[in-house]
Structure 1
Amino acid sequence: MNSADLGRRVGVPSTALFTDQYELTMVQAALKAGTADRHSVFEAFTRRLPEGRRYGVVAGTGRLLDAVENFHFDDEMLTFLRERNVVDGPTLAWLADFRFSGDVWGYPEGEVYFPGSPILRVEGSFAECVLLETVILSILNHDSAIAAAASRMSVAAGGRGLIEMGARRTHELSAVASARAAYVGGFDTTSDLAAGFRYNIPTVGTSAHAFTLLHDTERDAFRAQVDSLGRGTTLLVDTYDVAEAVRTAVEVAGTGLGAVRIDSGDLLLVAHRVRQQLDELGATGTKIVVTSDLDEYAIASLAAAPVNAYGVGTQLVTGSGQPTCSMVYKLVARAVSADPAEPLQPVAKKSLGAKSSVGGRKWAARRLDEYGVAEAEVIGTGPVPYGLADRQLLTELVRGGEVVAREPLDAARQRHIAARQGLPISAMQLSKGEPVIPTEYV
């Protein structure tokens, strides 16, 4: 395994200020009250899936581990906090020495989840655990939303290629995280070179309409591209007249032309016409790539089209209408001292309505039916029932402040494929519905 398999972490800046101010003011008050060191358990979970979604996808775990590892306050940050009077002197001194020393357990990246699933469990002192709340939720909410959209698009694509190309439709840093999450969810490649560099995701890209418009004729543009990139390149054929462009493309590149890309029009109709024309010209091996504001529904509508790959941008990097998973991070248990052996007392918010939660440190397992298909997400705080011990979902990620579960991104990608295949067939439906399996508390 080489370093690129695990992501390039060299020079990663501190993540300590990727947080809300009230995390620090809570630490200050708890330090003054003498409760900051109380042994505590926090859990990240969602009370419901985004409307109509049948399962969620855990993504961002690898980025989260980097964030925890790099969560520390340098002199410049401490000066900023002091000058803004965010916290007092004793708290600044405590922050100066801060390094997370607790434990983290969680669903492995790529796994699916459901309402109530304890996706992440963070255990340590109250102060060190509460500091991580915002950065944890920021990563999990964003990346899991993108991965869920990518997974639905992967289902709709039915094994055809998927290209992530949303960098110009979101923040430049979000674009990199989105490409990573999309790869976990089933996309094959990205157009974003920063994502390729950082996470070793395969990258692709050839030319835009501007390149064709630069040249005096479309033939000149195609010739320039083929001369530079070879006959296996992908030529964009909808700048002017598609039929004429396809004819010119084959004349320039020959029947060994790699692919043509269609970026506008009635994609279903145009794809059929282009396929017929390519075959008549002898370019039977030339592939067809379609782009143009696709989402999972548009991809599904093209199932009967002779398309080899889809390029998706805006809808992917915005979660296809669901840009967050509404995950929360709640204190679920705490002791009366810093002693890890001290009994934990379950605690939970008891708000009216839908914001209440279940206290206690939890385990989670997925019960299967006689055919090996998931039938329930089972969550509990007591002994694990017989038959579920080998189906537990939480894995150890951080032990005593040290990351113990780094893995290649491809492992998360393959895990998601396996997890999705283990769900009832109705999970693959794109129509709105309830979670595909129920959550049971025992």
Structure 2
Amino acid sequence: MSTAELGLPVDVPSTALFTDRYELTMLQAALRSGAAQRRSVFEAFTRRLPEGRRYGVVAGTGRVLDAVENFRFDAPVLDFLRREHVVDEATLEWLAGYRFTGDIWGYPEGEVYFPGSPVLRVEGTFAEAVVLETVVLSILNHDSAIAAAASRMAVAAGGRPLMEMGARRTHELAAVAASRAAYVGGFRTSSNLAAGFRYGIPTVGTSAHAFTLLHDTERDAFTAQVESLGRGTTLLVDTYDVATAVRAAVEIAGPELGAVRIDSGDLLLLAHRVRQQLDDLGAKQTRIVVTSDLDEYAIASLAAAPVDSYGVGTSLVTGSGHPTCSMVYKLVARAAGGEPLVPVAKKSMGGKTSVGGRKWAARRVDEDGVAVAEVVGSGAVPEDLVDRQLLVPLVRAGEVVGREPLEAAHVRHIEARAGLPLSATQLSRGEPALPTEQTA
């Protein structure tokens, strides 16, 4: 859910300069040649998944819609472009009236995708569609990478709650986007208050080692936290000696203590020891939260441990080794005037080819409803796939029609992932869980 949907006051700046200079110089040349008004179709897709990934996760769609709505060349932006001699006066005049008036279709947020999947399709004049390339890719590449990492971590967690806590490990604005993408991919809460403010994501927080070190004793710190935040709070127990801290925590808060957090050491061993100690002290309902540079593999290694929830930071906000999805935004069809669309495609060397034509996509399933193939084509949709199409309208004639609550994307991803073959959730390296079939 966007800030506007939450009814929160916010000054939304123009997104028009979230672009590369050559987008505007191409525009100037196309305006001069007369080709700028040609009807065009651009598609965002990836030629391959990051190494070891079995599926991708579409995330950032809602942010793309916000960016398109706010792609406006206001006076300060135009003054900058004029001062830097980026484009000529005729182009500046055209940009002053820029509004995207075309159509955008795409995979709904939270859906899974595979190599060649037309994740987003932008249709309009060349002029109004080409300038969106950089901002669209910037959002989709970042958010989808985070959501894919989050999804793998959610699988490894096996239903145990996940908390996003990576704000201090990335750019401050990227941290907010990462929190949103993590929620799409399966996390339930975030430590980032800006993410809670903008998107309504539930926020959580406990305390740092600094809070314990501030006080004369660990008991003083625990007492202050419990008296201020209540017995249901989470106490950090690894500043000094874990066993001593757990004993003090239960003595101070009683068996109603909400949780203890372990942030260092042998998490598997400590989790078992702490659980036994809590039970022996009568705090059988007190939960155990673990943090400490977790990734999907570390989470999976704790599957047999008595851990109730995980907090993940660095690995999550960096895409767990894959901070981008390598999505591209390519012109696949164009037409002059009222003529039919003509497929166009890049045919260069080095594997950077693309398939021309305005495409549809559908997912074929077996008799048990399990997905078996991603089918992408530019001709007529086969009758058996008509009801399995993936692209949905997001913008129609310049008006956003596909905005939805963030929770919908979260739920959709869980359902989409459940529809994949079991091999999709393996953490070991392997090929995409579904083959992509290209049809004419």
TM-score, normalization by structure 1 = 0.98
Match of 1:363 in 2: 360
Match of 1:236 in 2: 236
Shift of 1:10: 3.9
Q: What is the rounded CA distance, in whole Å, between the counterparts of 1:358 and 1:33 in structure 2?
A: 26
**For residues 100-141 of structure 1, what are the alpha-carbon distances to aligned partners after superposition, in whole Å with 9 as ceiling and x for unaligned?**
111000000000000000000000000100000000000000
Match of 2:426 in 1: 429
Report the residue type matching 1:410 in the other structure: E
CA change 1:221–1:11 in 2 (3 A) is same
Shift of 1:353: 2.7
Report the residue type matching 2:117 in the other structure: S
Report the residue type matching 1:305 in the other structure: A
Report the residue type matching 1:151 in the other structure: S
CA change 1:125–1:404 in 2 (3 A) is same
Shift of 1:6: 5.8
CA contact (8 A) 2:3 2:10 kept: no
Consecutive unaligned residues of structure 1, counting only runs of 5 or more, are none
Please state whether the residue corresponding to 2:351 is helix, strand or coil. Answer: helix
Match of 1:381 in 2: 378
- Whether 1:307 and 2:304 are equivalent positions in the alignment is no
CA change 1:291–1:253 in 2 (3 A) is same
CA change 1:6–1:116 in 2 (3 A) is farther
- Whether 1:345 and 2:342 are equivalent positions in the alignment is yes
Alignment of 1:408-419 (within 5 A): 408-419=405-416
Quick one: which of 395, 406, 421 aligns to 1:398?
395
Match of 2:223 in 1: 223
Match of 1:180 in 2: 180
**For residues 308-367 of structure 1, what are the alpha-carbon distances to aligned partners after superposition, in whole Å with 9 as ceiling and x for unaligned?**
000000000000000000000000000022x4xx20000000012310110000000000
Shift of 1:9: 7.7
CA contact (8 A) 1:237 1:262 kept: yes
Shift of 1:244: 0.1
CA contact (8 A) 1:8 1:199 kept: no
Q: What is the rounded CA distance, in whole Å, between the counterparts of 1:212 and 1:352 in structure 2?
A: 59
Match of 1:65 in 2: 65
CA contact (8 A) 2:2 2:199 kept: no
Quick one: which of 421, 431, 436 aligns to 1:439?
436
**For residues 390-422 of structure 1, what are the alpha-carbon distances to aligned partners after superposition, in whole Å with 9 as ceiling and x for unaligned?**
000000000011000110000000000000000
Report the residue type matching 2:346 in the other structure: K
**For residues 197-255 of structure 1, what are the alpha-carbon distances to aligned partners after superposition, in whole Å with 9 as ceiling and x for unaligned?**
00000000021000000000000000000000000000000000000000000000001
Match of 1:157 in 2: 157
Shift of 1:12: 1.5
Q: What is the rounded CA distance, in whole Å, between the counterparts of 1:428 and 1:94 in structure 2?
A: 49
CA change 1:5–1:153 in 2 (3 A) is farther
Report the residue type matching 1:236 in the other structure: L
Q: What is the rounded CA distance, in whole Å, between the counterparts of 1:190 and 1:7 in structure 2?
A: 21
Match of 1:26 in 2: 26
CA contact (8 A) 1:5 1:200 kept: no
Q: How many residues align?
A: 439
Q: What is the rounded CA distance, in whole Å, between the counterparts of 1:150 and 1:198 in structure 2?
A: 20
TM-score, normalization by structure 2 = 0.98
**For residues 47-67 of structure 1, what are the alpha-carbon distances to aligned partners after superposition, in whole Å with 9 as ceiling and x for unaligned?**
000001000000000000000
Q: What is the rounded CA distance, in whole Å, between the counterparts of 2:383 and 2:395 in structure 1?
A: 27
Match of 1:264 in 2: 264
Report the residue type matching 1:164 in the other structure: E
Q: What is the rounded CA distance, in whole Å, between the counterparts of 2:6 and 2:433 in structure 1?
A: 32
Please state whether the residue corresponding to 1:235 is helix, strand or coil. Answer: strand
Match of 2:193 in 1: 193
CA contact (8 A) 1:18 1:135 kept: yes
Match of 2:295 in 1: 295
Q: What is the rounded CA distance, in whole Å, between the counterparts of 2:28 and 2:434 in structure 1?
A: 42
CA contact (8 A) 1:6 1:407 kept: no
Q: What is the rounded CA distance, in whole Å, between the counterparts of 2:160 and 2:274 in structure 1?
A: 18
Please state whether the residue corresponding to 2:251 is helix, strand or coil. Answer: helix
Please state whether the residue corresponding to 1:387 is helix, strand or coil. Answer: helix
Report the residue type matching 2:169 in the other structure: R
Q: What is the rounded CA distance, in whole Å, between the counterparts of 1:97 and 1:384 in structure 2?
A: 38
Q: What is the rounded CA distance, in whole Å, between the counterparts of 1:142 and 1:153 in structure 2?
A: 17
Match of 2:49 in 1: 49
Alignment of 1:105-116 (within 5 A): 105-116=105-116
CA change 1:167–1:63 in 2 (3 A) is same
Please state whether the residue corresponding to 2:201 is helix, strand or coil. Answer: coil
